[in-house]
Structure formats: structure tokens, C-alpha cells
Structure 1
């Protein structure tokens, strides 16, 4: 029997809605997200994760603010970032802010940190991209030190130095996960530290990540970490509706809006064609789109093949009408999750 966790990740996307031809406002998207978190809790999902961005097409620049609001009227769901761009943030403030979420949720807060695949925060907060990797390494070490020590003494190079100062409030627990897009060096470094890892699986062959998961677990065990500490999660873009055809049709427009927006600012991305979309939503693709049975089957296959402990469906990618998103969350919690959980509960 294996206990698995199922949840949602979101960036609070604000792109053109197909039905209206208008962009949803940041303030409305933020308010809608609180209702989504509360519904995800009500239908029994395990996790709700909010990502940090500093772009017009995403509403959320401060995940902990959303999570704090979502904590108040929820009871069981874990609340985490996905991700906090640690390289361009102050580890002291990150810890303090999430400690507040932890208090409001009675111990349900987590932090998921990453280097940041979007780099808008670096010039915004005065950081140099030439320090991209070094910033993350030092700040992660500092955050871990703060978590373990109420009185902090720290000698910083790219961070501040602290001489025996207390960091408050203290969290009840506050697990720290590390996210990566699939870089081997990142996998090795996370394994050596014995931290739980999350892979962003949004393109290509999703099962190619198996070698990275195997390397993570092997290196982590060799570094002396228990299997209990070496947790693996993943997130993939996806959507759920009553039928496969309806889900794929409804999801194409919002996904294309987001992908095309990113392609305008990133040379490594191209605008989304219908042909590419068909492949990405196929059995070989990384997207998990369809009716509840199809989505459950694809989640099971991915979790089993990669030996995942946690899976997050990125819901939505691009903006969909709020009522459609609530319906998708309801289908996920009430129909998809029971199938997946039963499968792994009965697996020997």
C-alpha cells in the first residue's frame, strides 16, 4: 500500500478568455483563487500550490498572501508555493511569511523553492543574473539554517550576515521542497541535501524523467538520507471535463494564449500549434487532459512509472471561466482522486 498525495498547482494565469475575448483582471483572479482553494479542500484534494511571477499574464507575485487567505476557511488541505523564487527573495522574510501561513492553517503550510525559470524578479529586486546559481545555493542553505535555528548566526556572501538574532514567528513544521525542470546537477544537489524534490513535467516525453528520479534516490541514499526523506513529486499541465473531446477543446485556447505569450519573450519557446497540442495531449505527451477516467489513468501511469509520492495537476494553464475551473476541481476531487488513491492503496 502506498499513500499518494494529489493536488493542484496554479500561477493565477490572466490571459484572454475565449468566451468574452477579454483578459480577466488581476484582482478578480485573486479573489476567485480563494474560492478554488476552499473547493479543493472541500472535495478532499491534498495540496494546493501557488506560483510566484512578476508578469502581466500572471496575477500572483506573493504566493504566501494567497495561501494565508486560503488557510482561514480550509481544514485539511496543505498549502504551498510552486514556486517561491528563492534566488531573488530574502530567506528571512520567506520563512517569516510562511510561518504566518503555517499558524493560520494550524501547521498545513509548506514552501517549494526554485531558481525561477522566469527571471523578471531579478532586475525588479536588484539581483544580477550572473549570480543566478550561486544566489540559489546560498539562500537555500540560509533558509534551511533559519528553519532549524530560532537564533540565527549567518555569514553571508550574497546574502546579509546575521549575528545571533531571532527569527519570528516560528513555524510548527514548514516542510521545504525544491523544484527543478529536470536539470541533472539540480537533482544531484537536492539529493545530497536530502530534500524532497518536485519535477516540472510540461513538455517532451514525461517518462524520460525516470532516470532523474532513480539518480535522485540512489544519490540521496548514498548520502545517508532515509527513504522517508527522499520524496518525489511532479506537476503537469492539465484539465478535466465531462468527455475527452470536450476537455481537449476547452483547454486548447487558454493553453495557446499562455504559450504564445511566453514565446514572445523566450527564444526557446514557439507558439502552440494544433498539431503540437494534439501530441502533448496524447498518450505519449506530457499534458493530462480528458474526462475523469482518462485523467486518472494518465496520473496513475505517470506516478507508477516515476515512483511519485505527490502529483499536482496544473489547473488551469491560461485562463478559463471561473465556473469551468470550479467544475474541473470538483471532478478532480470527487472522481479522479478516488480512482488514483484506490489503485495505489490496493497495490502490493
Structure 2
């Protein structure tokens, strides 16, 4: 059974609920939509009489522009909505559909949170994706120029002020607390920042940062939690974190060895980039093999070492690139796999 039965030489390029909730950072209702947008185009260069239906039946249909604003009616019969499609024309149709006569029930179509927690909020610095899962309902930033000399001698402390920025991208109020992860011997005043933001609003909160130890290198990490996901902003103080790492082939794939002289644990998003022949079932007949894992959240301990063993088919002659992203930095290494690499 097809969700969208069609007739005529036209190609359907889009099938979606009506509206643009994600573009406006609006919450998406979980109820089944009653208005479906279908976008089709005519590829042959001849005028076509086209029909578009729906598996549970239609109540009405109308033509719209690309902004989904009505521009005209479409004829609806038992078989579906009928309309004429001019040569090479793109047409957008809004279908008011009937609900199916079966209870489909709620179903999880995928994970609801990112596998690596906390999520580095400035994800664009890690060259990752358009938005984390959840479309960033709360914006988070941490800014300030932190001096590491004792410029305010007050009881032996060095005191600075940083600013936590929050944005509510939702259409409902949001409240919570900003928590901080700090190197040993540092503290913030206040220790936590409670907040309440009205819809589509923002706020900035000053926070005092006090050094109560000689340590002047590390990262101030601000974290907020929303809907099961933790977002994190990082402000480095002193010399930034720089991992020393290498990638080398092994009999069963490759191994990444990372070493750190940083005084705090470093969260690392690690990715494997490989030819599509190693993507397994995702490329069906083109696959030569499949790699078990292409992402891992790694933690390099303070002043310590961590390893990531990447399983890969040793009999396949291929290249493999590893990308490490941490504290707003992205680094790459490449290695050759296969029997030839093992002989070197």
C-alpha cells in the first residue's frame, strides 16, 4: 500500500506536514497532521493531467505557493485530487486528509537525544550538523575576558566576571538552572544560576569567577538541561587544550591514541569518515563491508591518555579518516587500511 498513490508523468519531490515549525523554532505537536503538503514537478516537457491521493482518503485539496499559501482549488474525486501540471512546472498541493481507521499508537522513530552528552552547544564550530536533536530549544553562551594575574587582591583570590547568555527559542516559558563544571580550586558566585525566560526572550547573567588556587589554566563549563539533553558552553582560561594524538592501522582496523596535558578531562566527539563501500546496508549492492561504529564520545582524562579502537574490515584496501572535535576545535588524521598497510 502506498501512502501517496499518484497517476500521471509527474515526480513527487516532497511529502510533509503543513507549516514550518522547525524554521520558526516552534514545538511540533505529536498529533497526526490533517493537512499534508505534496510537491511535484513535470519532467517530460508536456502538459500532464495528474492525480494525487492519500491511503486513507481525502476531504479537500488546494493549490498553494512555495510558502504554502492557498492560490487556487484542486478538484477532489474518490481517487484523489486532480489537477493539470504545465511543462516543467513545480506544483505544491495541500491535501486535507482523512484519519486512518486504525489506531497506529505512539512509536519512537529514532533516538530523542544525542549519543554524546553533554552536547557542545556551538556545534557549528565542530562542523557537525545543522542542529542537535531537539533543534536547540535553549541557546547557551559563556563570554568574558578572564585575566589570570592577581589584579584584584582580595583575600588571596583573583576575581573575574563572566557572562552566561540564555535564549528561549520556544513559544512557551522555560525555567531551570545553569550549573558549572570547574577545575579544582576555582568557584563561581553564585554556584548556580536559576533562570526563567518568557517565550522568544533572552537574558544575560553576570557570574563572578574566583581562583582559590595557583592553577590558572582550565575551562569554565556552563551546562543547562532541557528535555533529557544537556547543553554545554565552554570558556577556556589560559593556554587552550591541545591534544597530542596519532592514528595508525592495526590488524583489525585502526587505533587512535590521544594524550593530554590539560588539567581537566576533555570531552571529544570522534568520527570515522570512510568510503561509502564501507557503509554496509546503507548502500546495499555497493557495499564491500560494514564498519560497526562511526561515532564515539571519548573522554581524555586530565593529564592522561585515552585510546579508541576502530574495527574495520582488514581485508579491504581503503582509506579511513578520523575527525576529533573538542572545545570548538576540529582536527583530522588519515590512514590506509588493508593488507598493503599491514606490510609497512
How high is the TM-score relative to the length of structure 2? 0.24
CA radius of gyration, larger in: 2
Report which structure shows greater RCO (CA 8 Å, sep ≥6). 1
Structure with the higher helix share, 1 or 2: 1
